[in-house]
Amino acid sequence: MLPELNAFWRTLAAHGGQVGLSNGKRTLSYGELLLEVSQRMALLTELRAQRVALCLDNGIDWVLWDLALLFSGRVCVPVPHFFSDSQKVHVLDSSGVDTLIGGPEVLADRCGFVACRPDIAQRAVASAPALPEGTQKITYTSGTTGQPKGVCLDAGVQLAVAQSLRQATGACACDRHLCVLPLATLLENIAGIYTPLLAGARIELRGMADIGLQGASSLDLPRLLGNVFAIAPSSLILVPQLLMALVSAAERGMALPASLRFVAVGGGRVAPQLLRRADALGLPVFEGYGLSECASVVCLNTPQHRRIGAVGKPLPHLQVSLGLDGEVLVRGARMLGYLGDAALDDDWLATGDLGHFEEGFLVLHGRKKHQFITAYGRNVNPEWVEAELTQQAPIAQAWVHGEALASNLAVLVPRHAAVSDAELGAAVARVNAVLPDYARVDQWLRADQAFSPANGKATTNGRLRRAALWAHYEGRFAAIPVINPSCHSS
């Protein structure tokens, strides 16, 4: 076992009889947890498993299998439940998985797996794809185009991130974490499992439907809030849309639990206005920034060092610098490489994100590849404008485009069907009033449907498929006569 894994094991053992995992019906102390992990490690050895896919719902079993794979040095391949069937098949086949834990029978049959134990199936893999040396986990990112890409990570970098997060958030004394995001997402896996385990905290685990989340974007807010009140966690990890739902509910008079000490938000741009709204409610929200290629979190705001509008300061285990064009570069925590690609040959990882520093805090502008240049030569990052638009109550989703155009265009998804064009127009006008002229939306359309993975307009983790949106709406924009900015309707 690697030294860092030995140290992790000893830390868990030191927590002894404290409750480590709970699903509301069953609890495991840290001692019981390690015993269960040891039993699973022995079974993996008996099965001669090498590359193991976890296709389980959030729960105690997911955590135990993940830890058994970590400590035994086997390759773990989490399969997000919100991936399509074809994406799941791609994950299993492209990574050369020989052992499948969980998952529907139809998936196992389609990929040639044969059941050998309850919830465990195996297959012979004639020629497994080569992996970078040291690969322990392959996490798949659902990019904006094509099939998901496999990011290869070693055990050391995952634990380094977890240790840094423990150090950065230690003053909050969070002793009960509720997992809200899927465990197959690296953020919850590392920040929601490994970090609380290092701290000796109690991790509360519920199935995704039980917690109020289904698919990639369906939310049962009353169920989610009911769980938060019943469990009384001290920490949560949320994506911006979940934070928006929580803040909006509180602003409508719904009470918030007093137990919360640290609510991390990341996974997408968070509008400063939303953070100020959370502040006004007394919610302890802290924005962060990370990416799978850096084993999750890179920067984080904390109670000691916080700035609204920034994603925080770099964690202590890594360095962050900026390229000549403002691209964010990271050294000290990075992937081994993409599955199927050549190994990385540079210490610095180019993130594809643009930003600048303010007194040590990183401020992001948006994705380098999404930045467009208007016909007047102005650079605009659409995520910035889109985040401002979706802060308006009538607007649920927004897509902004302006490459080589004299005026910027937007497609708006209303919050609900009863929202009128006049309300959308007023919302655009309010946003334009606080934007510089080159970033304002001059023409907009009402979307014919929400942007979702089902219609190909968004990825499974909510990122917009910009090329698909332009292909779909280009003709409709061409038919609209140019009129005065901020006064456009569909």
Least confident of 185-189, 218-222, 250-254, 392-396: 218-222
With beta carbons less than 8 A apart as the criterion, state whether 466 and 144 touch.
yes
The pTM (predicted TM-score) of the whole model is: 0.82
* Residue 142, amino acid: S
Alpha carbon distances (Å) from 84 to 325, 359, 385 = 36, 43, 30
Model confidence band, residue 25 (pLDDT cutoffs 50, 70, 90): very high
Give the phi and the psi of residue 45 in degrees, each rounded to 5.
Answer: -65, -45
Mean pLDDT score of the chain, rounded to an integer?
90
Q: What percent of the chain has pLDDT over 70?
A: 95
Token look-up 């495991």 returns 28
Residue 463 CA to residue 485 CA, distance in Å, equals 27
279's tokens: 């502040």
Q: Is there a common fold for 1-367 and 372-478?
A: no
At residue 32, does pLDDT exceed 70? Answer: yes
**What is the pLDDT, as a whole number, of residue 217?**
54
**What is the pLDDT, as a whole number, of residue 485?**
39
Residue 482 CA to residue 35 CA, distance in Å, equals 69
At residue 77, does pLDDT exceed 70? Answer: yes
What kind of fold does domain 372-478 have according to CATH? GMP Synthetase; Chain A, domain 3 (3.30.300)
**What is the pLDDT, as a whole number, of residue 146?**
57
Domain residue ranges of the chain, discontinuous segments joined by +? 1-367, 372-478
Give the phi and the psi of residue 355 in degrees, each rounded to 5.
Answer: -170, -175
CATH class in words for 1-367 = alpha beta
**What is the pLDDT, as a whole number, of residue 144?**
47
Q: What is the pLDDT of residues 141-194, one digit of tens each?
A: 865 445 788 999 999 999 999 999 999 999 899 999 999 999 999 999 999 999
Question: Of 428, 347, 448, which is closest to residue 388 (Cα–Cα)?
Answer: 428
Q: What is the pLDDT of residues 227-271, one digit of tens each?
A: 999 999 999 999 887 898 889 889 988 888 899 999 999 877 788
